[in-house]
Amino acid sequence: MSATTPALPTRVRHLIVGAGFAGVGAAIKLAEIGEDDFLVVEKGNDVGGTWRDNTYPGAACDVPSQLYSFSFARNDWSRSFSAQPEIFAYLQRVAAESGTLDRFVFDTAVTEAAWDDTAGEWVVDTTAGQVRATNLITGSGGLSEPKLPDIDGIDGFDGEIFHSARWNHDIDLTGKRVAVIGTGASAIQIVPQVQKVAAHLDVYQRTAPWILPRHDRTYSTIERLALKHVPGLQRAYRSAIYFGRETYVPGFTRFPQLTAPAKRLAESNIRRGITDPELRAQVTPDFQIGCKRILISNEYYPALDADNTDLVTDRITKITPGAVVTEDGTEREIDVLIVATGFHTTDQPIAHHIRGRDGRSLAEHWSETGMASYKGTCIAGFPNLFQLVGPNTGLGHSSMVFVIESQLAYIIDAVRTQRQAGWPAVEPRPEVQDAWNADLQRRMQSTVWSAGGCASWYLDDHGRNTTLWPRTTISLRRLLANFDSDKYVITERTAR
């Protein structure tokens, strides 16, 4: 990003961590209410977050484009499911047009943020120096830290190796022997692209995912003009898609029998894409649809069915300098190893860097309970900390941009309330937070994510689902509409 990087101030009212959808949205919304004394600290060299980092071939959104923009900054999308470059460009444009980029600092990582109870503010150490802030707003993303597989010998691999979210564009895969480990949302987008150019491709599947057809198409010029210029049309179209997606929720949360048509559709997607009966059986999941994220692709199965691709379902036992070895003793030689093995989701790295009132880190608090917060946003013992895309705010069916905007409404109302009342600090009451999480976990019991017979990144080491929201997003938006200060411990003003 070519924006001039400001020198780090010693003090700001709001420090925002991360410049993805969450951080950019927070900057815009704070500016809107005249809270201009903020700074956005971003470890990368641009805005965009996950849409800046995930540049692998085929990277695209599996949520409809119409839902993938801020309600206050619509976009003229070129197709129904947009690819990464278009989403990245959208976020760059929104940030540039917001007039807030002068308060973004790039290439700067937060190394430690500690609450100073005496001063009543956050002391934040970054790679570019220290900043003090009244409020700390984190938007560092739930899927930002690549998770590498712990496979014997992987460090000794002599060929090229990279994670899906850190694609090495210097490596030409044409004519190479390539292996992809993983069959999640990233892998199923990568595999068809690699299959087209590689001499040979091995796809290592630990668990087969459910995959629905991808109804992607380019919008015609007339459609785009109409969506742009006919008053209310884009809003109506967006609402129709939004409410359509909300109808998935009962099937995920309470009535699994409602997912039967989706399962049939996924099964027919396998039949359409794969001719070999043995391969069809290997890619057919043995758990309930929805238990893991439902994926969408028309190209993945045909790519697996291609002559130059092998699906390997035997467990990987080790990696040698030139090959992947599976438990049946087979050694498959490769030139390039792509690990599409996901992200740290329930052990978020930023949690190790934020220290609350008692000096302990979020990670230490969460090591006992699993990730927990109040309304996915505020955390007992961590005054004036607002976390965007916090615990239990993830979705399996709709857009995270909607969640982020819902949380922003709550945070902005909190900031406004704090300002009007002159409260130096707020934090949720522990018993309120406990009740919130008890209710979430009670609701989780009946969901497909808990009872669907799979292991997924939604669940933590204790088997608790601390990542997903188990209700409709309509209810999430309602619950986050106003800052409920009666649920908070308020620190009154003290002489400093």
Binding site for ligand N01 (CB under 6 A): 60-63, 143, 149, 151, 164, 181-187, 204, 206-207, 293, 316, 340-343, 457
Q: Amino acid letter at 114?
A: A
Question: Closest CB to ligand N01 among 137 and 340?
Answer: 340
In the complex, minimum distance from the CB of residue 363 to ligand N01, in angstroms, rounded to a whole number? 20
How many Cα atoms are found within 13 Å in the side-chain-facing hemisphere of 259? 25
Beta bridge partners of 370: none
Question: How far is CA 288 from its chain centroid?
Answer: 23
Tokens 């057809």 map to which residue? 213
The angle subtended at Cα 217 by Cα 213 and Cα 219, nearest 5°, is: 155
Q: Minimum CB separation from ligand N01 for residue 9, in Å?
A: 35
**What strands, in cross-sheet order, belong to the sheet with 200-204?**
160-163, 336-339, 177-181, 200-204, 309-312
* Minimal distance, residue 142 CB to ligand N01, in Å: 8
Nearer to ligand N01, 95 or 185 (CB): 185
β-strand pairing of 104-105 with 110-116: unpaired
d(CA 289, CA 210): 6
Please, which residue, 55 or 308, has the CB nearer to ligand N01? 55
In angstroms, what is the minimal distance from the CB of 185 to ligand N01? 3
Residue showing the smallest CB distance to ligand N01 in the complex: 184
- Which residue, 29 or 397, is less far from ligand N01 as judged by CB? 397
Calpha distance 124→110 (Å, rounded): 7
Q: From the CB of 231, what's the least distance to ligand N01, in Å? A: 30
The least CB distance from residue 50 to ligand N01, in Å, is 8
- Answer for the pair 145, 308: CB distance below 8 angstroms, yes or no: no
Shorter beta-carbon distance to ligand N01: residue 65 or 135: 65
- Smallest distance from the beta carbon of 464 to ligand N01, in angstroms? 17
Query: Which one, 115 or 157, has the nearer CB to ligand N01?
Result: 157
For the bound state, the minimum distance from the C-beta of residue 70 to ligand N01, rounded and expressed in Å, comes to 16
Nearer to ligand N01, 166 or 254 (CB): 166
Residue (64 or 251) nearer to ligand N01, CB: 64
